[in-house]
Amino acid sequence: MKRVLVPHLPGLDDNTVVIPKNELVHLVQVLRTREGEAIEVIDGQGGCVIAVLKKEGKKYFLEYVSPLTRSIANQVLPVILEIGILKNDAMSLVIEKSVELGIRRLVPVITEHCVVKVHETQKILVRWNKIAEQTLKQCGRLNKLEIFTPVTLKTMLQEELQGARFWCDETIENTKYCSLLDYEECIKQNTSLHLLIGPEGGFSEKERQSLTQCNVKSISLGPLILRSETAVISACSVLAAILRDNLP
């Protein structure tokens, strides 16, 4: 069934759904939705209703036909992905896969080796959120991925940590490394899990020292050096496998 994302779902006394202009254009001109066709309507906050497309004159609207439902708790994982800002295509892929894998929040991190320099923060946040919303509609998830304003690694490490934080260290010797599976009990016991992955150039020596001083748990994703976006998919998939059976 086709899906549309709206700011607010209708209340019990209101049977019409207002469609944002961009969503209406996509429904009618791109997806070729016909009058009377049923549409799944989501609000990005766990809400979902079924509505049908109606037309009065030149005006389109959605008529609410099914009871309001809320998503189950395991739609999203208690994972905050902290990722060194990547180049456009790589960052887009990270956002898409974060939505598909059920990551709750994404924090773009400014590090010493970031190739991308963020100047127009609001403009880039709009672009990132648009990618997340398009993926949301395609993958069946009901809750939006929360994308935070970019923050420096130094500032992030100074903030009070709720839960456990892991960072992917590609330099750990094979004989000494720990994987996420070695922290399975820790992962299951925490209600908030922070996963930190560096940019294309990795972390600087100074940043690595800061991570060690802050007692961030270092983990390895195996003997090969992965691209940042590949590391995201690999690590998040492992976390999802550990957490899925542990959620209500």
pLDDT digits (tens, 9 = 90+) for 123-144: 999 999 999 999 999 888 889 9
For residue 175, give the nearest of 142, 144, 220 by alpha carbon.
220
pLDDT of residue 70: 58
Question: Regarding predicted confidence, which is higher, 190 or 80?
Answer: 80
Question: For 73-244, which CATH class?
Answer: alpha beta
Quote the Cα angle for 21-23-26, to 5°: 110
Encoding tokens for residue 234?
A: 């690999």
What is the C-alpha separation between 33 and 2, in angstroms, rounded? Answer: 8
Residues 79 and 195: beta-carbon distance below 8 Å: yes
pLDDT digits (tens, 9 = 90+) for 28-55: 888 898 888 888 888 888 888 888 888 8
Question: For 3-70, which CATH class?
Answer: mainly beta
Averaged pLDDT, 140-156: 94
pLDDT of 88 over the 50 cut: yes
Model confidence band, residue 76 (pLDDT cutoffs 50, 70, 90)? confident
Model confidence band, residue 176 (pLDDT cutoffs 50, 70, 90)? low
Model confidence band, residue 71 (pLDDT cutoffs 50, 70, 90)? low
Model confidence band, residue 17 (pLDDT cutoffs 50, 70, 90)? confident
What is the C-alpha separation between 215 and 9, in angstroms, rounded? Answer: 44
Say which amino acid occupies 236.
C
| Mode of pairing for the β-strands spanning 47-56 and 38-42 | antiparallel
Averaged pLDDT, 153-172: 91
pTM, two decimals, is: 0.88
pLDDT of residue 74: 47
Ranges 19-33, 74-88, 104-118: which has the least confidence: 19-33
Give Cα separations from 67 to 10, 38, 47, 51 (angstroms).
10, 14, 11, 10
Q: What are the extents of the domains in the chain?
A: 3-70, 73-244
pLDDT of 22 over the 80 cut: yes
Residues 8 and 43: beta-carbon distance below 8 Å: yes
For residue 202, give the nearest of 151, 237, 163, 167 by alpha carbon.
167
Question: Regarding predicted confidence, which is higher, 40 or 12?
Answer: 40
